[in-house]
Chains A and B, each alone.
Chain A
């Protein structure tokens, strides 16, 4: 797997500082990753040209490979923003210790995860999650406490909350992709376009195929009348806009100003 398959890059202090600081974030948006990269160059090597981010990260990943860690790139499911997260690829008992969460808290997450995966919309209601507190492993947890734990997951960017319902944060999807596919092989949903794991998205009402919102945006970008790529039936949902980092910067739009996401169409 390693060594001879990929030429390992050379780590410099620029890369190390980047990695150290990246680790302080659970997940980071691309624009902030670029800013971080620039900062590291500035600290160590002012005059060097800032390497293309993709190559920069590939260098770091080539040395992380032997440690079973990777900087993974993904895209937020609701508005197509590129994100980066450091994920652990090896599942060993050591990882257990990494958790900031107690056994019953992890079990609560597990329960929420299962509800999210089983749902049609990719969201699980707070009520439904809280109704499962009696079934949790470990110390007994009251509903009130469970509410706080769910908020902790939101703060730590494992879950996203929208109007009292919870779905997986892009970070959790990146981190747990393999685990979800292995554990819920029948319930898991996949995007028709990119073939990646799908939690939120749009689905064809005729044939049932699903697509991520950013994938829908790209696929139907230049078509006036979108049709399902699988059964060719008319695509009934509103096609979102393709995420454009330049446009966002110009208009100075913040996330909170954006129109509400239409992630729950199905």
Chain B
């Protein structure tokens, strides 16, 4: 889509590089046709000339917006996507752009750009500010109830010693009225949420257990979970929904093999049967236990015409 010429002060990324600043050919190559010289020229991309501060600044601004938008969807951002959609022929200064963008994100917004796993070349934004419960009253988006479901699953995983079978997850969730095959009023398709969406967002790891018949899968905490929350917080939430203080469960402060049973004990069951949203707790409450990047919402233009 071609850009309309923008008035002063409205920079555009399609702006031609300043004269004399770009498109320097490889030295000593004539512009004439034929021969090794032009072949060489065709193979080697022209060394980019020096770019103005303003151009770099605009690129950083684009990169910041890109990262905010992408993280809003909670999909880890790949370096290749950054190259393709934003950086383009500023590829040579990508590390510098990333560094500056990360600095801006943290200084201005309080979001830290972190690599999901070492050498994975994918990134997420983590909030450096601690969410507080009162934030919920002044937010424009009312938290996400799906977080509550995620928290429960994370809690189950944790309680079970960091790994749980999918069948066991459903055994528990059924008591809360959440079924893998039934459409849920709040969550829609809980199976898809847990085994696909949360996995894609890297909150959970979902792996097939070999030699199981019928096939079973195991669920573990994903890399994003470790960056955005903590075992303590998960424990707090789980305790809250059972109206108990974490200190009542000393065993879980240092995770040990079989503490899961207490969650399934009869005491838990009557409460578990009460519908979420009833008195006691709401699914949305779990949101404040995650250091989510607050959904940026409508930072960017409605559309680009």
Bin chain A's interface residue count: 35 or more
B305: interface (CB < 8 Å)? yes
Kindly report which residue of chain A lies nearest to residue B86, judged by CB atoms. A94
Which residues of A have CB within 8 Å of B299?
23, 69, 86, 88, 98
B38 at interface by CB-CB < 8 Å? no
With a cutoff of 8 Å between Cβ atoms, the chain A residues found around residue B140 in the complex are 21, 24-26, 28
A140 interface residue (CB < 8 Å to B):
no
Say yes or no: A91-B3 contact (C-beta < 8 A), given A24-B140, A36-B138, A67-B61: yes
CB-CB under 8 A from B256, the residues of chain A are none
Interface of B is mostly: loop
In the complex formed, the residue of A with least CB distance to B100 is A66
List of B residues within 8 angstroms of A42 by Cβ: 134
Asked whether any CB of chain B lies closer than 8 Å to the CB of A254, the reply is no
Check: B31 CB closer than 8 A to any chain A CB: no
Cβ-closest chain A residue relative to B292: A20
Give chain A nearest CB distance to B85 CB in angstroms.
7
For B296, list chain A residues within 8 Å (CB).
23
Chain A residue nearest to B108 (CB atoms) is A63
Whether B303 pairs with A95 at a CB distance below 8 angstroms is yes
Q: Which residue of B lies closest to A64 (CB)?
A: B108
**Stretch of B6-14, B180-188, B241-249 lying at the A interface:** B6-14
Contact of B141 with A by CB under 8 A: yes
Known: A16-B129, A67-B60. 18 other contacts (CB 8 A): A11-B108, A16-B108, A26-B298, A66-B61, A67-B64, A88-B300, A89-B10, A91-B10, A92-B58, A92-B304, A94-B69, A95-B303, A109-B302, A110-B305, A156-B298, A175-B301, A175-B302, A178-B10
Which A residues fall within an 8 A CB radius of B?
A: 1-2, 11, 13, 16-17, 19-21, 23-26, 28, 32, 35-36, 39, 42-43, 63-64, 66-69, 85-99, 101, 106, 109-110, 156, 158, 171-172, 175-176, 178-179, 182-183
